[in-house]
Amino acid sequence: MDSFDMGRVTYLILLLAFVGGWVIVEFRGRMGSALRIAMAWGLIFLAVAAGYGLWTEMAPTLSPRQEALEGGEISIPRAPDGHYYITLQIEGTDIRFMADTGASSVLLSARDARRLGIDPDSLIYLGTARTANGEVRTARVLLTDVRLGEITDLTLPALVNEGDLDISLLGMSYLRRFDISISGDRMILRR
């Protein structure tokens, strides 16, 4: 245990002693009442923790997902934020993109590049891209074995973003390979 961890442990012991001392003084002669209150707060804490755990596990299954339809069509539902999110399988790894018809290229976030085995720190950033957050430097990469449902592309040129990007963007360099239509709250991709 290093000195930083020892400081944390000391702080927690002092905090526990302070709160415990307060409880003993406040509930002197009424320890049964103190234990009931402590158990009620403990159960409330456990219920909140369990609810959070269930939500993080179930949230991806509750939101509508893309689905492959007959005839090679892919149906992508509009998300509550108004965007369309598409999950591509690249070299066996699922990467979630926001469909961006205003972007000319596929733009990977540094986090998604790392998930694909690309080290963003070792790339040479020669290009630039204009984003909503301003101009960012980019590096070219070539993605292989890109799958969307039953549709497979052997290669896909992409850019890795050097700046902060929360989600990768699926631009027209990929989307133009499809006929795109929007019907109601669904984007339909056909090839």
What would the pLDDT profile of 7-58 be if each residue is shown by its tens digit? 888 888 988 888 888 878 888 888 788 788 878 888 898 888 888 887 777 6
CATH number at residue 127: 2.40.70.10
Asked whether residue 77 falls in the same domain as residue 159, the answer is: yes
Asked whether residue 153 falls in the same domain as residue 74, the answer is: yes
The last residue of a domain, from among 43, 62, 81: 62
Range from 144-148, 155-159, 163-167 carrying the lowest mean pLDDT? 163-167
Closest to 139 in 3D by CA, of 157, 152, 153 = 157
pLDDT surpasses 90 at 80? no
Asked whether residue 144 falls in the same domain as residue 184, the answer is: yes
Asked whether residue 75 falls in the same domain as residue 168, the answer is: yes
Asked whether residue 42 falls in the same domain as residue 129, the answer is: no
Angle at 174 between CA 169 and CA 175, to 5 degrees: 90
Residue 124 and residue 139 in contact, taking contact as beta carbons nearer than 8 Å: yes
pLDDT at 158: 96
Closest to 185 in 3D by CA, of 85, 69, 96 = 85
Asked whether residue 179 falls in the same domain as residue 93, the answer is: yes
Asked whether residue 38 falls in the same domain as residue 122, the answer is: no
Total number of domains constituting the chain: 2
Closest to 147 in 3D by CA, of 79, 68, 83, 63 = 68
Classified as helix, coil or strand, 84 is strand
Q: What is the distance in angstroms between the CA of the first residue and the CA of the last residue of the chain? A: 58
pLDDT at 146: 95
The last residue of a domain, from among 47, 62, 77: 62
Residue 24 DSSP class: H
Where does residue 63 rank: exposed (0-12), middle (13-18), buried (19+ CB within 10 A)? Answer: exposed
Asked whether residue 175 falls in the same domain as residue 81, the answer is: yes
Side-by-side strand order, sheet with 186-190: 67-68, 74-77, 186-190, 179-183
Q: Considering only CA atoms, give the Rg of the chain.
A: 25
Asked whether residue 10 falls in the same domain as residue 37, the answer is: yes
Q: 């526990």: which residue's tokens?
A: 16
User: How confident is the model over 163-168, as a mean pLDDT?
Assistant: 85
Asked whether residue 13 falls in the same domain as residue 73, the answer is: no
Q: How far is CA 184 from CA 43, 76, 176, 187, in A?
A: 45, 11, 21, 8
155: containing domain:
67-190
Asked whether residue 164 falls in the same domain as residue 103, the answer is: yes
Give Dmax (Cα) for the chain: 77
